[in-house]
Amino acid sequence: RSSSPQGECSRKCYDIFVLETVCVAWFSFEFLLRSIQAENKCAFLKTPLNIIDILAILPFYISLIVDLVSTKSSSKPTGAAGNKYLERAGLVLRFLRALRILYVMRLARHSLGLQTLGLTVRRCTREFGLLLLFLCVAMALFSPLVYLAESELGAKQEFTSVPTSYWWAVISMTTVGYGDMVPRSIPGQVVALSSILSGILLMAFPVTSIFHTFSRSYSELKEQQQRAASRQMRQLEESTKLAGGDTRQGLGVTFPPVAAGQEGQPIVDQEAGRSC
């Protein structure tokens, strides 16, 4: 909750706080119901999506507690220690409020694309490790080269040190190219061209495998959803059939087995015939 210069919360801020309170209360109630319904509480709390729910809900309650403690402390005359405590409390509040972005991760429970992305990341840990390794090796190779080329033959305006050249190597190999650091000499431009081409090739190998894993994971999750939907439809049809059979038995109508070349006809009990 941001405050006005006088220390009072504005009307817009108050409305946002009320809306957030309602949303967090609903999320908390839904999480509590799911935790009560779960058979194994430990396995329920270890699920990644449930961990994200906890990290998204807890900051709201912790912020309220810290706000109450800080207001009580500010009402009392405090010295330097109290001011340091308030500064630390403010830092904690800003960090906890930044965790509100985890509300978006709750969409992964209902989004097939986000579920596919999470499954792909879990399955491609080795490919991501190879991609990071390739980038580190190429960065360690081209950063000193471009620094030497620019420091010996160039104006040495942007490339002041080898660690500064690491940033240039990363944005060049990933083909981002912000343009904040540009080699001016011909040897530096040759090194830049080599780093760009090698970055494209090095990133293509792991990315291809990651793409195939993503496509396979998407197909698997889609088939699971289709099977679950068809299973629910069969259960619904079976329940309707059972309900229809109970209704016919209540009316006293039976169907004898079908003979060869004949069709079974309903036979009504005598008591039901008399009542008619």
**Domain co-membership, 135 together with 102:** no
d(CA 270, CA 252): 9
For residue 86, what pLDDT is reported? 55
**Domain co-membership, 138 together with 163:** yes
d(CA 49, CA 26): 17
- Mean pLDDT is lowest, of 108-117, 158-167, 190-199, for 108-117
Cβ contact 182:153 at 8 Å? no
Out of 109, 140, 155, a domain closes at 109
DSSP helix/strand/coil, 267:
strand
Cβ-proximal residues to 100 (8 Å cutoff; 6+ apart), any chain: 56, 59
For residue 185, what pLDDT is reported? 85
The CATH number covering residue 180 comes to 1.10.287.70
Average pLDDT value for residue range 30-47: 86
d(CA 197, CA 203): 10
Count of the separate structural domains present in the chain = 2
For residue 1, what pLDDT is reported? 46
d(CA 157, CA 168): 13
**Domain co-membership, 192 together with 161:** yes
The CATH number covering residue 41 comes to 1.20.120
- Domain assignment present for 21: yes
Domain region containing 176: 125-224
Residue with the larger pLDDT of the pair 55 and 84: 55
- Mean pLDDT is lowest, of 190-199, 229-238, 255-264, for 255-264
268, β-bridge pairs: 253
Residue with the larger pLDDT of the pair 220 and 59: 220
**Domain co-membership, 219 together with 143:** yes
**Domain co-membership, 80 together with 153:** no
For residue 156, what pLDDT is reported? 62
Q: Kindly report the average pLDDT of the chain as a whole number.
A: 76
| Amino acid letter, residue 276 | C
- Domain assignment present for 238: no
The CB-side HSE value for 262 (13 A sphere, CA atoms) comes to 9
- Domain assignment present for 237: no
- Domain assignment present for 62: yes
Per-residue pLDDT reduced to its tens digit, 117-133? 888 988 999 989 989 99
Residue with the larger pLDDT of the pair 70 and 45: 45
Q: Provide, rounded to the nearest whole percent, the portion of the chain with pLDDT above 90.
A: 14
pTM metric for this prediction: 0.53
Long-range Cβ contacts of 90-95 (<8 Å, 24+ apart): 92/62, 92/66, 93/63, 93/66, 93/67
- Domain assignment present for 165: yes
Tell me the pLDDT band of 270, cut-offs 50, 70 and 90.
very low
- Mean pLDDT is lowest, of 104-118, 214-228, 244-258, for 244-258
**Domain co-membership, 132 together with 104:** no
Out of 177, 203, 224, a domain closes at 224
Average pLDDT value for residue range 9-36: 82
**Domain co-membership, 66 together with 15:** yes
Q: Does residue 212 carry a pLDDT above 50?
A: yes
Question: Cα separations (Å) of 2 from 76, 93, 97, 213, 235?
Answer: 22, 11, 11, 44, 52
Cβ contact 183:191 at 8 Å? yes
Q: Which among 120, 122, 110 has a CA at the least distance from the CA of 53?
A: 110
**Domain co-membership, 99 together with 144:** no
- Domain assignment present for 139: yes
Burial class (CB in 10 A: 0-12, 13-18, 19+), 243: exposed
- Domain assignment present for 154: yes
| Amino acid letter, residue 147 | Y
Tell me the pLDDT band of 246, cut-offs 50, 70 and 90.
low
Average pLDDT value for residue range 35-41: 86
For residue 195, what pLDDT is reported? 92
